[in-house]
Chains A and B, each alone.
Chain A
Amino acid sequence: MKTYLPAKFIVERDSERCIQCQVCVNQCTFDTHYYDGEDDIVKNREENCAGCHRCMTFCPTGALTIRRNLLEYRENYNWRPEVIEDIIKQAETGGMLLTGMGDDKEHRIYWDHLVLNASQVTNPSIDPLREPMELATYLGSKPDRVELDAKGRLKTKLPPQVRLEVPVMFAAMSYGAVSLNVHHSLARAATEMDTLWNTGEGGLHPSLYKYGQNTIVQVASGRFGVHQEYLDAGRVVEIKIGQGAKPGIGGHLPGGKVSHEVSLTRMIPTGTDALSPAPQHDIYSIEDLSQLVYALKEATNYTKPISVKIAAVHNSAAIASGMVRAGADIIVLDGLRGSTGAAPKVIRDNVGIPIELALAAVDTRLRQEGIRNRASLVVSGGIRNSGDVAKAIALGADACYIGTAALVALGCSVCQQCHTGKCAWGICTTDLSLTKRINPDIGARRLANLLRGWSLELKDMLGGMGINALESLRGNRLALRGVGLNDNELEVLGVRVAGS
């Protein structure tokens, strides 16, 4: 069938600069560039271009420019090019539209409507270059009260706690969705910066067990690669119920991505689809969740916090209350903008709620019920910079997960082709000729640099507010003001309007 889909990008090749070296031909995984031997010239197939910028970045003479193909459809706010092209694609295939990364639509980004406070005159700011600043964060259930003995030592036995030097962790991205070199980069960076990375639901490669103290091992509906040694290896065990990019649905890692090495960690034969069912079939209620939480506590002899991750949805606050009562030590909320290696586009862009609202609602509810101390609260889904992190902490989060931001640090240009398995940056693929494009030494350096930069910025923001510990900002919504938000939004966020 002839496709009616127009090219999304225009590839401009400056013929004066191009030296026919074919770097672009070799770097492109979407077959956009090709060498025409007859004419001795490199040419384009623009319709294949995904806009990933790999060729531009690596062109030694700067001969390439990739521009959006701004189709001159007749103006129509309702029938925008994306809408038209989605229909064309479905008319030609009859399938569910699949996509990668997170929701890219114009939903309000509340972080951009929240501003932080700073000290002026009446209380001094603190200079982080001169004074120690504390970002340390402890994840785990805190007791309702503590008892001290006569010498002031702690008598109460604390549930297991995990100390993070920076309140930013790497979000769950499974081996299979991303490459082993990405896992190595994440694991090494997490170890260097004393935070945690997350295996996702794909098991833990044998070469990564040595990073166990900085690893969150995930248990999801497919139970891939879950066994005693895996549970013992991790610092935290996370039950994944849902994911912000695709709340309510499962995951299908296509058989084509189940290579020999992936099959080794998932413990399924090479080439079979790795199907993660929509629900965990032993969890149909809060009571069932509690059963799995305690099964994992028993399996790890009460030595590790058990985390439970859900997608942020309408009733998150009530669900979170149930999760805490079910015994979760850490609650993870993944918002509307949470990313994925592959999800139906209609789900990614239409299901779930913004993380800012979910976070505020959950924190408020747990405080009202007097159980906020019983679980740490971690948020994810579109955290872009340290400003978002600071605002999340002020809204009530204990820590954040970053997924997309971490991948961007590794080279990802958010071209949303993760589901094709052809990632030209070698991140979201299991093709060995591509995965070697990520060098774990360099990858770990880039990730650790990112976290270092954010740490410095967080300390600067704290100092500016006149506080020297992140703990003093946590849940302190008076440090925030809203700009351009209506009364209902301000009420849910628990934040006053700027100027008040």
Chain B
Amino acid sequence: MADTVTVEKKGTVARIDTSGVYYRQLNARMRELVADGVRKIELISVCGQRYIGTDLSKPVDIKITGTPGNDLGAFMLGPRITVHGNAQDGCGNTMDDGLIVIHGHAGDIIGLSARGGKIFIRDDVGYRAGIHMKEYGEKKPALVIGGTAQDFLGEYMAGGTLVLLGLNLEEGQHHRANFIGTGMHGGVIYIRGSVADYQLGQEVGVAGLKAEDKKLLGGLVGEYAGYFGADAARILDSDFIKIYPRFLRPYGRLYAH
């Protein structure tokens, strides 16, 4: 394991070959660079280093080649991360603000408890994506998934916007996720294509899109298309469903006082 982290730095741009660099050294070095005024960091040969983008608290552009480890951008405030490769679990965990763009797949609990910022995943995600995202005032997180997702998508969701595009599904193929929106009590999920009733949590309803939904969805799909070179108009020219919470207080009637 490398003891020192080699950095090529030009003005406010830095480039780090992360081969064999432990995450603690890498993140410590990145904190120093950002404190020194660096605003663009390129990380190459990333292989499993965790917590990249955490505790930088500045709008830094981070370009990653390889596979960043778990909790990419956890508690993140401000950075814009682009990954050319796949992301692992916990990407955008309790994220506050910033942007994460993944040119590939991502693992479980993507965007867990995110309170702001945007996450775009080009392909598929694992289980529990968008679980317990929440919003307050102007802060509304968005998670856009180009492919499909596994069970518990948007569980306990309390705010924000979750979009599932299913672009890699074959003709006639459906999303397989079950327990979608279980316990959901805020926010909205848009799904391209359809899901069967049994795939949904008991606390959600299904509706068509209204003008304001189309505007919100159109903006996010446009952004997705911009990052990944897709055709936004073609994506939007499909049937979408909106999944919404039926109650602000899903469990209000469980108790005797």
Q: Which residue of B lies closest to A95 (CB)?
A: B256
Give a binary string over B227-257; 1 marks a CB under 8 Å from any A CB, 0 the rest. 0000000000000000000001111111111
- A98 interface hit (Cβ, 8 Å): yes
A291:B50 contact, CB within 8 angstroms = yes
Checking B54, B109, B251, B255 against A275 with a beta-carbon cut-off of 8 angstroms, the contacting residue is B251
B residues contacting the other copy or chain, number (CB 8 A): 47
Chain B residue contacts of A226, Cβ below 8 A: 75, 94, 113, 115
A295:B75 contact, CB within 8 angstroms = yes
B115:A227 contact, CB within 8 angstroms = yes
- B90 interface hit (Cβ, 8 Å): yes
Chain A residue contacts of B126, Cβ below 8 A: none
- A271 interface hit (Cβ, 8 Å): yes
B256:A96 contact, CB within 8 angstroms = yes
- A476 interface hit (Cβ, 8 Å): no
B74:A269 contact, CB within 8 angstroms = no
- A315 interface hit (Cβ, 8 Å): no
Q: Which residue of B lies closest to A300 (CB)?
A: B55
Q: Which DSSP category, helix, strand, loop or mixed, fits chain A's interface?
A: mixed
Give a binary string over A94-137; 1 marks a CB under 8 Å from any B CB, 0 the rest. 11111000000000000000000000000000000000000000
- A387 interface hit (Cβ, 8 Å): no
A271:B248 contact, CB within 8 angstroms = yes
- B71 interface hit (Cβ, 8 Å): yes
A282:B249 contact, CB within 8 angstroms = no
A299:B54 contact, CB within 8 angstroms = yes
Chain A residue contacts of B74, Cβ below 8 A: 295, 298-299
- B146 interface hit (Cβ, 8 Å): no
Chain B residue contacts of A221, Cβ below 8 A: 132
A223:B248 contact, CB within 8 angstroms = no
Tell me the minimal C-beta distance from A422 to chain B in angstroms: 10
Give a binary string over A276-299; 1 marks a CB under 8 Å from any B CB, 0 the rest. 010001100000000100111011
| Complex Cα–Cα for A468 and B133 (A) | 51
Tell me the minimal C-beta distance from A297 to chain B in angstroms: 9
| Complex Cα–Cα for A275 and B187 (A) | 14
Tell me the minimal C-beta distance from A292 to chain B in angstroms: 8
Chain A residue contacts of B183, Cβ below 8 A: 275, 277
B249:A228 contact, CB within 8 angstroms = no
- B175 interface hit (Cβ, 8 Å): no
Chain A residue contacts of B29, Cβ below 8 A: none
Give a binary string over B43-68; 1 marks a CB under 8 Å from any A CB, 0 the rest. 00000001100110100000000000
B252:A273 contact, CB within 8 angstroms = yes
Q: Which of B9-17, B134-142, B164-172 is the interface stretch?
A: B134-142
- B104 interface hit (Cβ, 8 Å): no
B186:A272 contact, CB within 8 angstroms = yes
Chain B residue contacts of A272, Cβ below 8 A: 158, 185-186, 248-249
**Known A227-B77, A281-B109, A298-B51; 13 more pairs at CB < 8 Å:** A95-B255, A221-B132, A223-B112, A223-B115, A264-B136, A268-B134, A269-B136, A277-B156, A281-B155, A291-B50, A291-B90, A295-B71, A295-B74
**Which residues of B line the A interface, CB within 8 A?**
23-24, 27, 31, 50-51, 54-55, 57, 70-71, 74-75, 77, 89-90, 93-94, 96, 109, 112-113, 115, 128, 131-132, 134-136, 139, 155-156, 158-159, 183, 185-186, 248-257
10 intermolecular pairs with C-beta atoms under 8 Å apart:
A96-B254, A227-B77, A227-B94, A267-B139, A272-B158, A273-B252, A277-B156, A295-B54, A295-B74, A300-B55
